[in-house]
């Protein structure tokens, strides 16, 4: 199914701010241009400067990204998926902006992590986001057992994500490593027409089998 239009998930003030900017920092310039085109921006895309900040960016490259700000221009930070600065390389640029006493303004928008927690029915008083779990089977299983024990001891919801093409492997690893009574929420494609979200015990997930989350951005929430 097609993507949700930005106007459906972003406040008018945020859309207006994004439409007014001439400088952006994004993980991927191509997808950022597609996002700006969908707003739509009022100025030609060729006149908008989009600089990339991703896993290939060296610390020595960060000051150059700050130059438009130091010259008095506003710069928008766009996340490839999710929330800027949260599990996102943009945090390094935000840190540098603070070091130069540059005002940082967070804009209202959907966060898949918090939206998933809101709809999960799991503990919202104590929760922790752990990013990506280890890729190797043994290390991942050990980490899952650690998170489950911590969740049980502290009554905490454990939140993590995975590269979309490894979602099924993570699901299988959780079935193998975690207790049947632990609850797992799987949230995929949040805010999209294809949104999926369900919370079940591991015993129920074993009976039902994996949901259709292959190659779909997903959030996993575990509470023992």
Encode pLDDT of 94-118 as tens digits. Answer: 999 999 999 999 998 889 999 999 9
The token pair at 92 is 């390094």
The token pair at 123 is 């503990």
- Residue 45 shares a structural domain with residue 89: yes
pLDDT at 2 over 80: no
Instruction: Scan for tokens 């015990």, then name that residue.
Output: 201
- Give 129-163 pLDDT, tens digit per residue: 999 999 999 999 999 999 999 999 999 999 999 99
* Domain stops at, among 30, 64, 99: 99
* Domain stops at, among 74, 99, 124: 99
- Residue 124 shares a structural domain with residue 84: no
Torsion, CA 41, CA 90, CA 136, CA 152, rounded to 10: -100
- Strand order, beta sheet including 196-201: 127-132, 157-161, 218-223, 183-188, 196-201
- Residue 38 shares a structural domain with residue 95: yes
Number of domains the chain is built from: 2
Q: Would residue 188 be called left, alpha or beta, if left means φ above 0 and alpha means ψ between -120 and 50 degrees?
A: beta
- Long-range contact pairs involving 60-68 (C-beta distance under 8 Å, separation at least 24): 62/92, 62/93, 62/96, 63/96, 65/25, 65/93, 66/93, 66/96, 66/97, 66/100, 66/102, 68/23
Q: Which residues contact 146 (CB under 8 A, 6 or more apart)?
A: none
- Residue 25 shares a structural domain with residue 88: yes
DSSP 60: G
CA nearest neighbour of 170 among 207, 121, 215: 215
- Give 167-197 pLDDT, tens digit per residue: 999 999 999 999 999 999 999 999 888 999 9
- Residue 65 shares a structural domain with residue 149: no
Residue 3: its pLDDT value, please? 62
Q: Is 155 inside any structural domain?
A: yes
Q: How far apart are CA 127 and CA 124, in angstroms?
A: 6
Q: Which residues contact 84 (CB under 8 A, 6 or more apart)?
A: 77, 78, 90
- Give 51-80 pLDDT, tens digit per residue: 999 999 999 999 999 999 999 999 999 988
- Residue 58 shares a structural domain with residue 132: no
Q: Is 174 inside any structural domain?
A: yes
Q: Is 1 inside any structural domain?
A: no
Domain extent at residue 79: 6-99
pLDDT at 120 over 50: yes
pLDDT at 81 over 80: no
Q: Is 13 inside any structural domain?
A: yes
- Residue 144 shares a structural domain with residue 90: no
- Residue 76 shares a structural domain with residue 118: no
Average pLDDT over residues 196-218: 95
Average pLDDT over residues 10-15: 91
Residue 1: its pLDDT value, please? 40
CB atoms within 10 A of CB 3: 14
Average pLDDT over residues 30-51: 92
- Residue 50 shares a structural domain with residue 89: yes
């Amino acid at each position: 199914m097609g993507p949700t239009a930005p106007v459906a998930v972003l406040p008018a003030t945020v859309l207006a701010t994004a439409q007014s900017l001439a400088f952006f920092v994004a993980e991927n310039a191509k997808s950022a241009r597609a996002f700006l085109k969908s707003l739509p921006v009022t100025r030609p895309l060729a006149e908008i400067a989009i600089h990339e900040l991703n896993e290939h960016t060296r610390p020595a490259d960060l000051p150059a990204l700050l130059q438009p700000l130091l010259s008095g221009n506003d710069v928008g930070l766009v996340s490839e998926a999710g929330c800027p600065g949260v599990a996102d390389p943009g945090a390094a640029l935000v840190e540098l902006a603070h070091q130069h006493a540059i005002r940082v303004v967070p804009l209202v928008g959907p966060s898949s992590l918090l939206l998933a927690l809101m709809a999960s029915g799991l503990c919202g008083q104590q929760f922790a986001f752990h990013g990506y779990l280890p890729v190797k089977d043994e290390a991942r299983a050990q980490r899952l057992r650690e998170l489950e024990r911590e969740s049980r001891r502290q009554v905490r919801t454990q939140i993590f994500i995975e590269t979309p093409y490894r979602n099924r492997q993570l699901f299988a690893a959780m079935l193998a490593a975690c207790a049947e009574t632990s609850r797992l929420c799987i949230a995929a494609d949040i805010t999209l027409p294809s949104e999926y979200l369900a919370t079940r015990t591991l015993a129920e997930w074993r009976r039902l089998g994996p949901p259709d989350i292959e190659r779909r951005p997903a959030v996993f929430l575990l509470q023992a």
